Amino acid sequence: MSARAFIVAAAQFPVFSPNTWNEVDARVAQWVANAVARGAKLLVFPEYGSMSIAHLDAATRSDLHGQIAAMQTHRETWLTLHRRLAQAHQVYILAGSYPWTLADGRTVNRAWFCAPDGRAEYQDKAVMTRFEREQWNIWSEPPLKLFDTALGKIAVNICYDSEFPLLARAACEAGAEIILVPSCTDTLAGYYRVKVGAQARALENQCYVIQSPIVGEAAWSPAVDINIGSAGVYGPPDRGFPDDGVIALGPLNEPQWLYAEIDPEKVAEVREFGAVRPFRHWPESAAALVVPLPL
């Protein structure tokens, strides 16, 4: 492993039912402390990993739209918590994404990426699922961003975004070596769609892809009542990586951290010396034409 190698922790983070903000603070702080104790330098929490906060307001917790309004009173505290923990432990943290209401009244699915110096930037989800757009009224908000960190160049494809190759491709053409995929899926099929997408993006772009799901059940929540998945760390099935591309895979639905050692130097190596070069040869596929042949 090169000097750039480090440990990543991908959360299989459980939805829970807090009654006070202190319970939220303590839960997240303990999870971060546990990962740091194992040497993790990059911590990834899941899509809608913030939704347990909706339980704090008994009047709106079962109201699909009312809970979003109630959660806005806690959003800056949520961000401050993760910035504080990243700085205190000198790690990078992708916070569980949050339904974040903008000044124009639209709500987006926003994941904050917090750095060891206390700074934070966000990535909003680019492509919304049917539930988000048809029932929950969550909006898309481009553009994609590239986070240039001490660990490497990192992009975020939130859940469904991982199923669209051009998003990851644009990030990797801009320099991404690692793609984070926080996810929230309520069926096994949904989990596998994101998993297969994550593995395909690792193959196509010859990069690392890290998936972190929310898990468990919350009967009181119309948004995250059922959550299925396991964390995964994936790479291209080629030089320096496992034959199946699976670096680490967690047990289904069990709350835990999944740890893996990754080395961004291997991305450059496999793109240059791999048995195949899909990242370099992508323009050839993009230039292909379909010729209709009536028979």
DSSP assignment of 205-218, as one string?
HTSEEEEEEEEEE-
Of 95, 60, 46, the residue nearest 222 (C-alpha): 60
Look at residue 293 and tell me if it is in a domain. no
Per-residue confidence in pLDDT tens, the chain, 295 aa: 799 999 999 999 999 999 999 999 999 999 999 999 999 999 999 999 999 999 999 999 999 999 999 999 999 999 999 999 999 999 999 999 999 999 999 999 999 999 999 999 999 999 999 999 999 999 998 899 999 999 999 999 999 999 999 999 999 999 999 999 999 999 999 999 999 999 999 999 999 999 999 999 999 999 999 999 999 999 999 999 999 999 999 999 999 999 999 999 999 999 999 999 999 999 998 777 788 999 9
Q: Which helix (H) or strand (E) holds 99?
A: strand 98-101
CB 146 within 8 A of CB 174: yes
Alpha helices in the chain (DSSP H): 21-37, 66-71, 75-89, 130, 165-173, 188-205, 265-273, 278-286
CB 19 within 8 A of CB 186: no
Of 96, 90, 146, 77, the residue nearest 118 (C-alpha): 90
β-bridge pairing 107-114 and 120-124: antiparallel
CB 199 within 8 A of CB 245: yes
Looking at the 3D structure of the chain, how many domains does it have? Answer: 1
Handedness of CA 287, 200, 198, 172 (dihedral sign): negative
CATH of the domain at 208: 3.60.110.10
Of 204, 115, 205, 194, the residue nearest 158 (C-alpha): 194
Look at residue 288 and tell me if it is in a domain. no
Of 248, 204, 243, 177, the residue nearest 4 (C-alpha): 177
Look at residue 289 and tell me if it is in a domain. no
Q: Which helix (H) or strand (E) holds 107?
A: strand 107-114
Structure tokens at 247: 């670096």
Q: How far apart are CA 47 and CA 136, in angstroms?
A: 15
- Residue 98: other Cβ atoms inside 10 A: 26
Look at residue 77 and tell me if it is in a domain. yes
CB 167 within 8 A of CB 157: yes
What is the pLDDT at residue 288? 76
What is the pLDDT at residue 146? 98
Domain, as residue range, for 94:
6-276
Q: Which long-range contacts (CB under 8 A, 24 or more apart) does 289-294 make?
A: none
What letter does residue 44 receive in the DSSP assignment?
E
Dihedral, CA of residue 164, residue 128, residue 28 and residue 121, to nearest 10: 70
| Start-to-end Cα distance in the chain | 55
Look at residue 94 and tell me if it is in a domain. yes
Q: How many CA atoms lie within 13 A of 106 on its CB side?
A: 11
Look at residue 287 and tell me if it is in a domain. no
Look at residue 122 and tell me if it is in a domain. yes
